[in-house]
Structure 1
Protein backbone atom coordinates (compact mmCIF):
# COMPACT_ATOMS: atom_id res chain seq x y z
CA UNK A 1 0.00 0.00 0.00
CA UNK A 2 1.13 3.55 -0.73
CA UNK A 3 1.68 6.59 1.49
CA UNK A 4 0.29 9.78 -0.01
CA UNK A 5 0.54 13.42 1.07
CA UNK A 6 -2.39 15.57 -0.11
CA UNK A 7 -2.11 19.36 -0.29
CA UNK A 8 -5.60 20.60 -1.13
CA UNK A 9 -8.88 21.98 0.19
CA UNK A 10 -10.58 20.41 3.20
CA UNK A 11 -14.24 20.47 4.31
CA UNK A 12 -15.72 19.48 7.65
CA UNK A 13 -18.87 18.03 6.05
CA UNK A 14 -19.07 16.22 2.74
CA UNK A 15 -16.51 14.96 0.27
CA UNK A 16 -14.53 17.38 -1.88
CA UNK A 17 -10.81 18.09 -2.07
CA UNK A 18 -8.74 16.19 0.48
CA UNK A 19 -11.98 15.26 2.24
CA UNK A 20 -12.84 13.18 -0.83
CA UNK A 21 -9.42 11.87 -1.80
CA UNK A 22 -8.26 10.85 1.68
CA UNK A 23 -11.19 8.60 2.70
CA UNK A 24 -11.23 6.97 -0.74
CA UNK A 25 -7.54 6.11 -0.46
CA UNK A 26 -7.98 4.93 3.12
CA UNK A 27 -10.84 2.65 2.09
CA UNK A 28 -8.37 0.93 -0.26
CA UNK A 29 -5.79 0.55 2.50
CA UNK A 30 -3.48 3.47 1.76
CA UNK A 31 -2.01 5.86 4.35
CA UNK A 32 -2.81 9.56 3.88
CA UNK A 33 -1.35 12.75 5.35
CA UNK A 34 -3.44 15.89 4.73
CA UNK A 35 -2.34 19.51 4.50
CA UNK A 36 -5.36 21.84 4.04
CA UNK A 37 -4.97 24.89 1.80
CA UNK A 38 -8.45 26.06 2.82
CA UNK A 39 -10.69 24.87 5.65
CA UNK A 40 -14.43 25.18 5.07
CA UNK A 41 -17.57 23.94 6.75
CA UNK A 42 -18.72 22.39 3.45
CA UNK A 43 -18.61 22.82 -0.31
CA UNK A 44 -19.42 26.45 -1.29
CA UNK A 45 -22.35 25.26 -3.40
CA UNK A 46 -24.48 24.83 -0.27
CA UNK A 47 -26.61 27.75 1.03
CA UNK A 48 -24.35 28.39 4.02
CA UNK A 49 -20.59 28.09 4.19
CA UNK A 50 -17.91 29.30 6.58
CA UNK A 51 -14.14 29.05 6.71
CA UNK A 52 -11.05 30.55 5.14
CA UNK A 53 -7.72 29.77 3.48
CA UNK A 54 -4.94 28.47 5.69
CA UNK A 55 -2.13 31.09 5.60
CA UNK A 56 0.87 29.85 3.57
CA UNK A 57 3.23 30.58 6.46
CA UNK A 58 1.14 28.32 8.70
CA UNK A 59 1.17 25.61 6.06
CA UNK A 60 4.91 26.01 5.75
CA UNK A 61 5.31 25.48 9.49
CA UNK A 62 3.11 22.38 9.30
CA UNK A 63 5.24 20.99 6.46
CA UNK A 64 8.40 21.61 8.48
CA UNK A 65 6.88 19.82 11.48
CA UNK A 66 5.85 16.84 9.33
CA UNK A 67 9.40 16.72 7.96
CA UNK A 68 11.00 17.04 11.40
CA UNK A 69 8.95 14.07 12.61
CA UNK A 70 10.33 12.01 9.75
CA UNK A 71 7.02 11.67 7.89
CA UNK A 72 7.77 13.71 4.78
CA UNK A 73 10.53 11.35 3.69
CA UNK A 74 8.14 8.38 4.06
CA UNK A 75 5.72 9.56 1.38
CA UNK A 76 5.48 7.70 -1.92
CA UNK A 77 3.52 10.44 -3.68
CA UNK A 78 2.39 14.04 -3.38
CA UNK A 79 -1.02 15.10 -4.68
CA UNK A 80 -1.47 18.85 -5.14
CA UNK A 81 -5.04 20.07 -5.54
CA UNK A 82 -6.81 23.36 -4.82
CA UNK A 83 -4.52 26.38 -4.30
CA UNK A 84 -6.46 29.61 -3.62
CA UNK A 85 -3.72 32.26 -4.09
CA UNK A 86 -0.40 32.77 -5.90
CA UNK A 87 1.30 32.48 -2.50
CA UNK A 88 -0.19 29.01 -2.03
CA UNK A 89 1.06 28.09 -5.50
CA UNK A 90 4.58 29.22 -4.54
CA UNK A 91 4.42 27.15 -1.36
CA UNK A 92 3.23 24.12 -3.35
CA UNK A 93 6.08 24.51 -5.85
CA UNK A 94 8.58 24.52 -2.98
CA UNK A 95 6.99 21.40 -1.49
CA UNK A 96 7.06 19.65 -4.87
CA UNK A 97 10.78 20.33 -5.27
CA UNK A 98 11.42 19.17 -1.71
CA UNK A 99 9.49 15.93 -2.14
CA UNK A 100 10.97 15.18 -5.55
CA UNK A 101 14.41 15.18 -3.92
CA UNK A 102 13.01 12.59 -1.49
CA UNK A 103 11.90 10.39 -4.40
CA UNK A 104 8.14 11.04 -4.30
CA UNK A 105 5.94 10.87 -7.39
CA UNK A 106 4.22 14.19 -8.11
CA UNK A 107 0.55 14.29 -9.17
CA UNK A 108 -0.93 17.72 -9.81
CA UNK A 109 -4.67 18.22 -10.18
CA UNK A 110 -4.92 21.78 -11.56
CA UNK A 111 -8.16 22.73 -9.81
CA UNK A 112 -9.11 25.86 -11.73
CA UNK A 113 -12.76 25.54 -12.62
CA UNK A 114 -15.30 23.69 -14.73
CA UNK A 115 -17.85 24.26 -17.45
CA UNK A 116 -20.12 26.18 -17.53
CA UNK A 117 -19.09 28.24 -14.46
CA UNK A 118 -15.51 28.93 -15.57
CA UNK A 119 -12.68 29.71 -13.17
CA UNK A 120 -13.20 29.00 -9.46
CA UNK A 121 -10.25 31.12 -8.34
CA UNK A 122 -8.58 34.41 -9.19
CA UNK A 123 -6.85 34.51 -12.54
CA UNK A 124 -3.55 35.46 -10.88
CA UNK A 125 -3.56 32.17 -8.96
CA UNK A 126 -4.52 30.22 -12.08
CA UNK A 127 -1.72 31.82 -14.07
CA UNK A 128 0.81 31.13 -11.30
CA UNK A 129 -0.26 27.48 -11.25
CA UNK A 130 0.07 27.22 -15.03
CA UNK A 131 3.46 28.91 -15.19
CA UNK A 132 5.30 27.61 -12.12
CA UNK A 133 3.65 24.39 -10.97
CA UNK A 134 2.53 22.45 -14.03
CA UNK A 135 6.09 22.01 -15.36
CA UNK A 136 6.99 20.19 -12.12
CA UNK A 137 4.41 17.40 -12.42
CA UNK A 138 4.91 13.73 -13.20
CA UNK A 139 1.16 13.36 -13.79
CA UNK A 140 -1.44 16.04 -14.56
CA UNK A 141 -5.18 15.43 -14.12
CA UNK A 142 -7.07 18.41 -15.61
CA UNK A 143 -10.73 18.26 -16.50
CA UNK A 144 -11.73 19.31 -20.00
CA UNK A 145 -12.37 22.95 -19.08
CA UNK A 146 -9.02 23.16 -17.28
CA UNK A 147 -7.21 21.61 -20.24
CA UNK A 148 -8.69 24.25 -22.54
CA UNK A 149 -7.87 27.10 -20.16
CA UNK A 150 -4.30 25.95 -19.58
CA UNK A 151 -3.51 25.48 -23.27
CA UNK A 152 -5.75 28.15 -24.82
CA UNK A 153 -6.53 25.47 -27.39
CA UNK A 154 -9.82 23.99 -28.66
CA UNK A 155 -10.91 20.82 -26.84
CA UNK A 156 -14.29 20.23 -28.46
CA UNK A 157 -13.58 16.69 -29.66
CA UNK A 158 -11.22 13.85 -28.82
CA UNK A 159 -8.54 14.71 -31.37
CA UNK A 160 -8.51 18.36 -30.30
CA UNK A 161 -8.31 17.36 -26.63
CA UNK A 162 -5.44 14.99 -27.41
CA UNK A 163 -3.57 17.70 -29.30
CA UNK A 164 -4.06 20.13 -26.42
CA UNK A 165 -2.88 17.57 -23.87
CA UNK A 166 0.24 16.85 -25.93
CA UNK A 167 1.33 20.47 -25.48
CA UNK A 168 1.52 19.84 -21.70
CA UNK A 169 3.71 16.74 -21.99
CA UNK A 170 7.05 18.49 -21.61
CA UNK A 171 8.23 17.81 -18.97
CA UNK A 172 5.14 16.11 -17.52
CA UNK A 173 5.22 12.39 -18.22
CA UNK A 174 1.49 11.79 -18.33
CA UNK A 175 -1.71 13.82 -18.82
CA UNK A 176 -5.04 12.31 -17.73
CA UNK A 177 -7.96 14.40 -18.96
CA UNK A 178 -11.17 13.80 -17.04
CA UNK A 179 -14.61 14.57 -18.55
CA UNK A 180 -13.10 13.78 -21.97
CA UNK A 181 -15.37 14.37 -25.02
CA UNK A 182 -15.75 10.72 -26.01
CA UNK A 183 -19.10 11.05 -27.78
CA UNK A 184 -22.87 11.52 -27.30
CA UNK A 185 -23.90 10.34 -23.85
CA UNK A 186 -20.36 9.24 -23.06
CA UNK A 187 -17.41 10.71 -21.23
CA UNK A 188 -14.31 9.16 -19.68
CA UNK A 189 -10.60 9.66 -19.17
CA UNK A 190 -8.17 10.48 -21.96
CA UNK A 191 -4.60 9.36 -21.20
CA UNK A 192 -1.84 11.01 -23.23
CA UNK A 193 1.85 10.15 -22.98
CA UNK A 194 4.85 10.45 -25.28
CA UNK A 195 4.07 6.91 -26.48
CA UNK A 196 0.48 7.59 -27.54
CA UNK A 197 -3.05 8.01 -26.25
CA UNK A 198 -5.81 5.83 -24.86
CA UNK A 199 -9.34 6.48 -23.67
CA UNK A 200 -11.45 4.78 -20.99
CA UNK A 201 -15.10 5.57 -21.78
CA UNK A 202 -17.95 5.69 -19.24
CA UNK A 203 -21.58 6.73 -19.64
CA UNK A 204 -22.61 10.24 -18.66
CA UNK A 205 -24.81 10.30 -15.57
CA UNK A 206 -27.08 12.90 -14.05
CA UNK A 207 -27.13 13.64 -10.34
CA UNK A 208 -23.42 13.06 -9.72
CA UNK A 209 -22.26 14.63 -6.41
CA UNK A 210 -19.24 16.90 -6.14
CA UNK A 211 -15.78 15.43 -5.59
CA UNK A 212 -15.41 12.77 -8.29
CA UNK A 213 -12.38 14.50 -9.82
CA UNK A 214 -10.74 14.70 -6.39
CA UNK A 215 -11.24 10.97 -5.87
CA UNK A 216 -9.86 10.12 -9.31
CA UNK A 217 -6.70 12.18 -8.80
CA UNK A 218 -6.20 10.64 -5.36
CA UNK A 219 -6.48 7.12 -6.73
CA UNK A 220 -3.91 7.98 -9.41
CA UNK A 221 -1.61 9.33 -6.68
CA UNK A 222 -2.15 6.02 -4.88
CA UNK A 223 -0.53 4.25 -7.81
CA UNK A 224 -3.61 2.92 -9.60
CA UNK A 225 -3.67 2.74 -13.38
CA UNK A 226 -6.31 4.99 -15.01
CA UNK A 227 -8.57 2.03 -15.86
CA UNK A 228 -8.38 0.76 -12.28
CA UNK A 229 -9.09 4.19 -10.83
CA UNK A 230 -11.99 4.80 -13.20
CA UNK A 231 -13.45 1.37 -12.43
CA UNK A 232 -13.58 2.21 -8.72
CA UNK A 233 -14.87 5.72 -9.41
CA UNK A 234 -17.57 4.54 -11.82
CA UNK A 235 -18.99 2.14 -9.24
CA UNK A 236 -18.78 4.85 -6.55
CA UNK A 237 -20.68 7.26 -8.81
CA UNK A 238 -23.39 4.67 -9.48
CA UNK A 239 -23.80 4.17 -5.72
CA UNK A 240 -23.98 7.94 -5.12
CA UNK A 241 -26.33 9.23 -7.82
CA UNK A 242 -28.66 11.97 -6.52
CA UNK A 243 -27.14 11.69 -3.02
CA UNK A 244 -25.97 14.95 -1.39
CA UNK A 245 -22.40 13.62 -1.15
CA UNK A 246 -20.34 10.76 -2.53
CA UNK A 247 -21.14 7.60 -0.55
CA UNK A 248 -17.48 6.74 0.02
CA UNK A 249 -17.94 4.93 3.33
CA UNK A 250 -21.51 3.72 2.86
CA UNK A 251 -20.78 2.00 -0.48
CA UNK A 252 -17.19 0.92 0.22
CA UNK A 253 -18.11 -2.76 0.20
CA UNK A 254 -18.97 -2.49 -3.50
CA UNK A 255 -16.87 0.25 -5.12
CA UNK A 256 -13.59 -0.91 -3.54
CA UNK A 257 -14.07 -4.26 -5.32
CA UNK A 258 -14.81 -2.79 -8.75
CA UNK A 259 -13.49 -4.31 -11.95
CA UNK A 260 -10.95 -2.14 -13.85
CA UNK A 261 -12.18 -0.54 -17.06
CA UNK A 262 -10.47 -1.23 -20.37
CA UNK A 263 -8.66 1.48 -22.29
CA UNK A 264 -8.59 1.60 -26.08
CA UNK A 265 -5.95 3.20 -28.30
CA UNK A 266 -6.95 6.29 -30.26
Structure 2
Protein backbone atom coordinates (compact mmCIF):
# COMPACT_ATOMS: atom_id res chain seq x y z
CA UNK A 1 0.00 0.00 0.00
CA UNK A 2 1.32 3.43 -0.94
CA UNK A 3 2.09 5.57 2.07
CA UNK A 4 0.75 9.14 1.93
CA UNK A 5 1.61 11.93 4.29
CA UNK A 6 -1.36 12.85 6.46
CA UNK A 7 -1.87 16.36 7.86
CA UNK A 8 -4.30 17.32 10.66
CA UNK A 9 -6.81 20.09 9.88
CA UNK A 10 -9.67 21.61 11.86
CA UNK A 11 -12.70 22.80 9.87
CA UNK A 12 -15.19 25.07 11.65
CA UNK A 13 -18.27 25.71 9.52
CA UNK A 14 -21.82 24.55 8.85
CA UNK A 15 -23.11 20.99 8.45
CA UNK A 16 -26.10 19.52 6.62
CA UNK A 17 -27.41 15.97 6.82
CA UNK A 18 -28.37 15.92 3.13
CA UNK A 19 -26.36 17.65 0.42
CA UNK A 20 -23.03 19.39 0.15
CA UNK A 21 -22.41 22.74 1.77
CA UNK A 22 -20.06 23.78 4.56
CA UNK A 23 -18.15 20.91 6.13
CA UNK A 24 -20.02 18.38 3.97
CA UNK A 25 -18.59 20.11 0.90
CA UNK A 26 -15.07 20.43 2.30
CA UNK A 27 -14.34 17.23 4.23
CA UNK A 28 -14.32 14.51 1.57
CA UNK A 29 -12.17 16.40 -0.99
CA UNK A 30 -9.68 17.22 1.78
CA UNK A 31 -9.58 13.61 2.93
CA UNK A 32 -8.90 12.57 -0.67
CA UNK A 33 -5.82 14.79 -0.55
CA UNK A 34 -4.38 13.31 2.62
CA UNK A 35 -5.92 15.54 5.28
CA UNK A 36 -7.05 14.17 8.61
CA UNK A 37 -10.08 16.45 8.97
CA UNK A 38 -11.63 17.23 12.34
CA UNK A 39 -15.00 18.95 11.91
CA UNK A 40 -16.59 21.37 14.35
CA UNK A 41 -20.07 22.11 13.06
CA UNK A 42 -21.51 25.58 13.72
CA UNK A 43 -24.98 24.47 12.64
CA UNK A 44 -26.58 21.05 12.18
CA UNK A 45 -29.29 21.41 9.55
CA UNK A 46 -31.29 18.83 7.62
CA UNK A 47 -30.40 20.53 4.31
CA UNK A 48 -29.38 23.92 2.93
CA UNK A 49 -31.90 26.76 2.94
CA UNK A 50 -32.42 26.71 -0.84
CA UNK A 51 -34.86 23.84 -0.43
CA UNK A 52 -37.46 26.24 0.95
CA UNK A 53 -37.68 24.45 4.30
CA UNK A 54 -35.00 23.44 6.76
CA UNK A 55 -34.85 21.89 10.22
CA UNK A 56 -32.07 21.68 12.72
CA UNK A 57 -30.12 23.57 15.35
CA UNK A 58 -27.36 26.14 15.69
CA UNK A 59 -24.50 25.51 18.04
CA UNK A 60 -24.55 27.48 21.28
CA UNK A 61 -21.60 29.34 22.75
CA UNK A 62 -21.39 26.84 25.62
CA UNK A 63 -21.40 23.89 23.22
CA UNK A 64 -18.61 25.21 20.99
CA UNK A 65 -16.52 26.06 24.06
CA UNK A 66 -16.99 22.53 25.44
CA UNK A 67 -16.05 20.91 22.15
CA UNK A 68 -12.92 22.99 21.66
CA UNK A 69 -11.79 22.56 25.27
CA UNK A 70 -12.20 18.81 24.80
CA UNK A 71 -9.90 18.95 21.78
CA UNK A 72 -7.34 20.94 23.77
CA UNK A 73 -7.41 18.57 26.71
CA UNK A 74 -6.37 15.61 24.57
CA UNK A 75 -3.60 17.60 22.91
CA UNK A 76 -4.67 17.72 19.26
CA UNK A 77 -2.31 19.85 17.15
CA UNK A 78 -3.29 21.22 13.75
CA UNK A 79 -1.29 22.15 10.68
CA UNK A 80 -4.22 23.94 9.04
CA UNK A 81 -7.42 25.69 10.10
CA UNK A 82 -10.40 26.29 7.82
CA UNK A 83 -13.15 28.58 9.15
CA UNK A 84 -16.39 29.36 7.34
CA UNK A 85 -20.02 30.01 8.24
CA UNK A 86 -20.82 31.17 11.78
CA UNK A 87 -24.51 31.69 12.63
CA UNK A 88 -24.07 34.76 14.85
CA UNK A 89 -21.57 37.18 16.33
CA UNK A 90 -20.84 35.30 19.57
CA UNK A 91 -20.02 32.05 17.74
CA UNK A 92 -17.87 33.97 15.26
CA UNK A 93 -16.08 35.78 18.07
CA UNK A 94 -15.24 32.50 19.78
CA UNK A 95 -14.13 31.02 16.47
CA UNK A 96 -11.67 33.89 16.33
CA UNK A 97 -10.45 32.94 19.80
CA UNK A 98 -9.98 29.35 18.64
CA UNK A 99 -7.96 30.56 15.67
CA UNK A 100 -5.74 32.71 17.89
CA UNK A 101 -5.20 29.82 20.30
CA UNK A 102 -4.27 27.39 17.54
CA UNK A 103 -1.87 29.90 15.98
CA UNK A 104 -0.28 30.49 19.38
CA UNK A 105 0.35 26.76 19.75
CA UNK A 106 1.62 26.46 16.16
CA UNK A 107 2.48 29.76 14.43
CA UNK A 108 3.02 27.83 11.19
CA UNK A 109 -0.56 26.57 11.14
CA UNK A 110 -2.16 27.79 7.90
CA UNK A 111 -5.43 29.63 8.60
CA UNK A 112 -7.86 30.15 5.74
CA UNK A 113 -10.85 32.28 6.68
CA UNK A 114 -13.91 32.40 4.45
CA UNK A 115 -16.00 35.34 5.72
CA UNK A 116 -19.41 33.90 4.84
CA UNK A 117 -21.79 36.85 5.13
CA UNK A 118 -23.80 37.03 1.91
CA UNK A 119 -23.72 37.45 -1.85
CA UNK A 120 -25.07 39.73 -4.58
CA UNK A 121 -25.99 42.47 -2.10
CA UNK A 122 -27.87 40.22 0.34
CA UNK A 123 -26.72 39.37 3.87
CA UNK A 124 -27.20 35.78 5.03
CA UNK A 125 -26.34 36.68 8.61
CA UNK A 126 -26.84 39.51 11.08
CA UNK A 127 -24.98 42.77 10.44
CA UNK A 128 -23.43 42.30 13.88
CA UNK A 129 -20.91 39.82 12.45
CA UNK A 130 -19.27 42.46 10.21
CA UNK A 131 -17.30 44.24 12.98
CA UNK A 132 -16.36 40.83 14.44
CA UNK A 133 -14.80 39.76 11.15
CA UNK A 134 -12.91 43.06 11.01
CA UNK A 135 -11.67 42.58 14.57
CA UNK A 136 -10.47 39.02 13.86
CA UNK A 137 -8.65 40.11 10.70
CA UNK A 138 -6.97 43.06 12.41
CA UNK A 139 -5.11 40.66 14.68
CA UNK A 140 -2.98 39.70 11.67
CA UNK A 141 -3.22 35.95 12.25
CA UNK A 142 -5.21 34.95 9.16
CA UNK A 143 -3.05 33.68 6.28
CA UNK A 144 -5.63 33.57 3.47
CA UNK A 145 -9.06 35.09 3.05
CA UNK A 146 -11.56 34.00 0.39
CA UNK A 147 -14.46 36.48 0.24
CA UNK A 148 -16.76 37.13 -2.69
CA UNK A 149 -17.25 40.65 -4.04
CA UNK A 150 -20.07 41.58 -1.66
CA UNK A 151 -18.12 40.35 1.36
CA UNK A 152 -15.07 42.42 0.39
CA UNK A 153 -17.31 45.46 0.09
CA UNK A 154 -18.58 44.86 3.63
CA UNK A 155 -15.01 44.62 4.92
CA UNK A 156 -13.70 47.77 3.17
CA UNK A 157 -16.89 49.86 3.46
CA UNK A 158 -17.25 50.83 -0.19
CA UNK A 159 -18.57 49.38 -3.44
CA UNK A 160 -16.32 47.67 -5.97
CA UNK A 161 -17.48 48.48 -9.48
CA UNK A 162 -14.32 48.73 -11.59
CA UNK A 163 -10.63 47.83 -11.59
CA UNK A 164 -9.72 51.10 -9.82
CA UNK A 165 -12.04 50.43 -6.87
CA UNK A 166 -10.91 46.80 -6.79
CA UNK A 167 -7.26 47.85 -6.48
CA UNK A 168 -8.21 50.30 -3.74
CA UNK A 169 -10.03 47.53 -1.87
CA UNK A 170 -7.11 45.10 -2.16
CA UNK A 171 -4.64 47.69 -0.86
CA UNK A 172 -6.90 48.44 2.09
CA UNK A 173 -7.32 44.74 2.87
CA UNK A 174 -3.57 44.16 2.78
CA UNK A 175 -2.81 47.28 4.81
CA UNK A 176 -5.52 47.33 7.47
CA UNK A 177 -5.78 43.58 8.01
CA UNK A 178 -2.11 42.69 7.31
CA UNK A 179 -3.21 39.95 4.93
CA UNK A 180 -0.55 38.23 2.84
CA UNK A 181 -2.98 36.33 0.63
CA UNK A 182 -6.37 37.49 -0.67
CA UNK A 183 -8.45 35.47 -3.11
CA UNK A 184 -11.73 37.03 -4.22
CA UNK A 185 -13.66 34.10 -5.55
CA UNK A 186 -16.03 35.96 -7.88
CA UNK A 187 -16.39 39.51 -9.15
CA UNK A 188 -18.22 41.37 -11.89
CA UNK A 189 -16.63 44.65 -13.00
CA UNK A 190 -17.37 47.35 -15.56
CA UNK A 191 -14.30 46.36 -17.56
CA UNK A 192 -15.49 42.73 -17.79
CA UNK A 193 -19.22 43.06 -18.61
CA UNK A 194 -19.89 39.49 -19.74
CA UNK A 195 -17.68 37.40 -17.50
CA UNK A 196 -16.82 36.61 -13.90
CA UNK A 197 -13.29 37.11 -12.66
CA UNK A 198 -11.38 35.57 -9.77
CA UNK A 199 -8.64 37.68 -8.23
CA UNK A 200 -5.62 36.64 -6.19
CA UNK A 201 -3.44 39.20 -4.48
CA UNK A 202 -0.24 38.77 -2.47
CA UNK A 203 1.61 41.16 -0.19
CA UNK A 204 4.97 40.87 1.51
CA UNK A 205 3.63 43.21 4.23
CA UNK A 206 6.31 45.74 3.25
CA UNK A 207 4.21 47.67 0.77
CA UNK A 208 4.79 45.38 -2.21
CA UNK A 209 1.54 43.99 -3.63
CA UNK A 210 1.11 41.71 -6.65
CA UNK A 211 -2.41 41.10 -7.99
CA UNK A 212 -3.62 38.90 -10.82
CA UNK A 213 -6.97 37.84 -12.21
CA UNK A 214 -8.51 34.93 -14.06
CA UNK A 215 -11.51 35.14 -16.36
CA UNK A 216 -13.93 32.35 -15.46
CA UNK A 217 -16.58 31.06 -17.86
CA UNK A 218 -20.17 31.31 -16.63
CA UNK A 219 -22.04 28.01 -16.31
CA UNK A 220 -25.78 28.67 -16.37
CA UNK A 221 -27.15 26.53 -13.53
CA UNK A 222 -27.86 26.55 -9.81
CA UNK A 223 -25.10 25.68 -7.36
CA UNK A 224 -24.57 25.64 -3.60
CA UNK A 225 -21.47 24.82 -1.57
CA UNK A 226 -19.20 26.16 -4.32
CA UNK A 227 -17.31 28.56 -2.07
CA UNK A 228 -16.84 25.87 0.57
CA UNK A 229 -15.33 23.46 -1.94
CA UNK A 230 -13.19 26.25 -3.41
CA UNK A 231 -11.73 27.13 0.01
CA UNK A 232 -11.07 23.49 0.89
CA UNK A 233 -9.16 22.83 -2.33
CA UNK A 234 -7.29 26.12 -1.98
CA UNK A 235 -6.01 25.51 1.55
CA UNK A 236 -4.72 22.13 0.39
CA UNK A 237 -2.80 23.59 -2.55
CA UNK A 238 -1.39 26.60 -0.70
CA UNK A 239 -0.21 24.39 2.15
CA UNK A 240 1.61 22.11 -0.28
CA UNK A 241 3.08 24.82 -2.54
CA UNK A 242 3.84 27.84 -0.37
CA UNK A 243 7.35 26.81 0.68
CA UNK A 244 8.61 25.73 -2.73
CA UNK A 245 6.88 28.00 -5.25
CA UNK A 246 7.19 31.80 -5.35
CA UNK A 247 3.98 31.96 -7.35
CA UNK A 248 2.19 29.52 -5.07
CA UNK A 249 -1.00 31.59 -4.82
CA UNK A 250 -1.48 32.06 -8.58
CA UNK A 251 -0.71 28.42 -9.29
CA UNK A 252 -2.91 27.19 -6.44
CA UNK A 253 -5.87 29.27 -7.61
CA UNK A 254 -5.32 28.10 -11.20
CA UNK A 255 -5.46 24.45 -10.17
CA UNK A 256 -8.52 24.99 -7.99
CA UNK A 257 -10.38 26.84 -10.75
CA UNK A 258 -9.51 24.05 -13.18
CA UNK A 259 -10.99 21.46 -10.82
CA UNK A 260 -14.00 23.58 -9.93
CA UNK A 261 -14.94 24.16 -13.55
CA UNK A 262 -15.11 20.40 -14.11
CA UNK A 263 -17.09 19.75 -10.92
CA UNK A 264 -19.61 22.45 -11.80
CA UNK A 265 -19.95 21.19 -15.36
CA UNK A 266 -20.56 17.66 -14.10
CA UNK A 267 -23.17 19.01 -11.67
CA UNK A 268 -24.88 21.08 -14.34
CA UNK A 269 -24.95 18.19 -16.81
CA UNK A 270 -26.44 15.89 -14.19
CA UNK A 271 -29.17 18.41 -13.28
CA UNK A 272 -30.09 18.99 -16.93
CA UNK A 273 -30.19 15.27 -17.63
CA UNK A 274 -32.65 14.86 -14.77
CA UNK A 275 -34.69 18.04 -15.19
CA UNK A 276 -34.10 19.32 -18.72
CA UNK A 277 -33.87 23.03 -19.47
CA UNK A 278 -36.56 23.74 -16.87
CA UNK A 279 -33.97 23.45 -14.10
CA UNK A 280 -33.81 27.21 -13.46
CA UNK A 281 -37.59 27.62 -13.45
CA UNK A 282 -38.00 25.17 -10.57
CA UNK A 283 -35.69 26.81 -8.04
CA UNK A 284 -36.77 26.11 -4.50
CA UNK A 285 -38.42 22.78 -5.26
CA UNK A 286 -36.90 19.80 -3.41
CA UNK A 287 -36.51 17.79 -6.63
CA UNK A 288 -34.54 20.59 -8.28
CA UNK A 289 -32.37 21.16 -5.23
CA UNK A 290 -31.52 17.47 -4.92
CA UNK A 291 -30.50 17.27 -8.58
CA UNK A 292 -28.40 20.44 -8.21
CA UNK A 293 -26.27 19.28 -5.28
CA UNK A 294 -22.57 19.22 -6.16
CA UNK A 295 -21.49 15.91 -7.70
CA UNK A 296 -18.88 15.68 -5.00
CA UNK A 297 -18.47 11.92 -4.84
CA UNK A 298 -18.76 11.34 -8.58
CA UNK A 299 -15.92 13.84 -9.08
CA UNK A 300 -13.60 12.23 -6.54
CA UNK A 301 -10.88 11.52 -9.11
CA UNK A 302 -10.56 15.23 -9.96
CA UNK A 303 -9.29 16.53 -6.62
CA UNK A 304 -5.70 15.41 -7.17
CA UNK A 305 -5.51 17.00 -10.63
CA UNK A 306 -2.56 19.32 -11.23
CA UNK A 307 -3.98 20.80 -14.43
CA UNK A 308 -3.75 24.57 -14.78
CA UNK A 309 -6.16 25.42 -17.54
CA UNK A 310 -6.62 29.13 -16.91
CA UNK A 311 -4.50 32.09 -17.92
CA UNK A 312 -3.66 34.67 -15.27
CA UNK A 313 -3.20 38.33 -16.12
CA UNK A 314 -1.76 41.13 -13.99
CA UNK A 315 -4.36 43.44 -12.58
**One fold, TM greater than 0.5?**
yes
- 2:278 maps to what in 1? none
Partners of 1:89 and 1:133 within 8 A in 2:
no
Q: Quick check: 1:90 aligned with 2:93?
A: yes
Partners of 2:33 and 2:236 within 8 A in 1:
no
Per the TM alignment, residue 148 of structure 1 is displaced from its structure 2 partner at its CA by 1.1
Per the TM alignment, residue 255 of structure 1 is displaced from its structure 2 partner at its CA by 5.4
SS in 2 for 1:179: strand
Per the TM alignment, residue 158 of structure 1 is displaced from its structure 2 partner at its CA by 3.1
Looking at structure 2, the residues matched to 52 and 255 of structure 1 have their Cα atoms a distance apart, in angstroms, of 31
Q: 2:126 aligns with which of 103, 122, 129?
A: 122
Looking at structure 1, the residues matched to 9 and 198 of structure 2 have their Cα atoms a distance apart, in angstroms, of 22
- 1:263 maps to what in 2? 312
Looking at structure 2, the residues matched to 201 and 65 of structure 1 have their Cα atoms a distance apart, in angstroms, of 44
Looking at CA atoms only, which structure, 1 or 2, has the larger radius of gyration? 2
Per the TM alignment, residue 186 of structure 1 is displaced from its structure 2 partner at its CA by 2.0
RMSD: 1.8
Looking at structure 1, the residues matched to 219 and 306 of structure 2 have their Cα atoms a distance apart, in angstroms, of 18
Q: Quick check: 1:246 aligned with 2:294?
A: yes
Looking at structure 1, the residues matched to 51 and 96 of structure 2 have their Cα atoms a distance apart, in angstroms, of 31
Count of residue pairs the alignment pairs up: 263
User: In proportion to residue count, which structure has more helix?
Assistant: 2
- 1:226 maps to what in 2? 253
Structure-1-length-normalised TM-score: 0.92
- 1:177 maps to what in 2? 184
Looking at structure 2, the residues matched to 134 and 44 of structure 1 have their Cα atoms a distance apart, in angstroms, of 31
Q: 1:251 to 1:223 in 2, by over 3 A?
A: closer
Partners of 2:22 and 2:84 within 8 A in 1:
yes
Looking at structure 2, the residues matched to 70 and 221 of structure 1 have their Cα atoms a distance apart, in angstroms, of 23
Looking at structure 2, the residues matched to 32 and 237 of structure 1 have their Cα atoms a distance apart, in angstroms, of 24
Q: 1:56 to 1:139 in 2, by over 3 A?
A: same
Per the TM alignment, residue 42 of structure 1 is displaced from its structure 2 partner at its CA by 0.6
SS in 2 for 1:233: helix
Per the TM alignment, residue 13 of structure 1 is displaced from its structure 2 partner at its CA by 0.7
Q: How does 1:153-232 map to 2 (within 5 A)?
A: 153-170=158-175, 171-181=178-188, 183-194=192-203, 195-224=209-238, 225-232=252-259
Name structure 2 gaps, 5 residues minimum: 1-5, 204-208, 239-251, 272-290
Per the TM alignment, residue 254 of structure 1 is displaced from its structure 2 partner at its CA by 4.0
Structure-2-length-normalised TM-score: 0.78
Q: Deviations over 1:131-171 (max 9, x none)?
A: 33464311111001111121122211233223212211131
Looking at structure 1, the residues matched to 129 and 21 of structure 2 have their Cα atoms a distance apart, in angstroms, of 20
Q: Quick check: 1:41 aligned with 2:68?
A: no
Name structure 1 gaps, 5 residues minimum: none
Per the TM alignment, residue 257 of structure 1 is displaced from its structure 2 partner at its CA by 2.8
Q: Deviations over 1:30-59 (max 9, x none)?
A: 221110111111101112210121112211
Q: 1:39 to 1:226 in 2, by over 3 A?
A: same
SS in 2 for 1:187: strand
Q: 1:2 to 1:238 in 2, by over 3 A?
A: farther
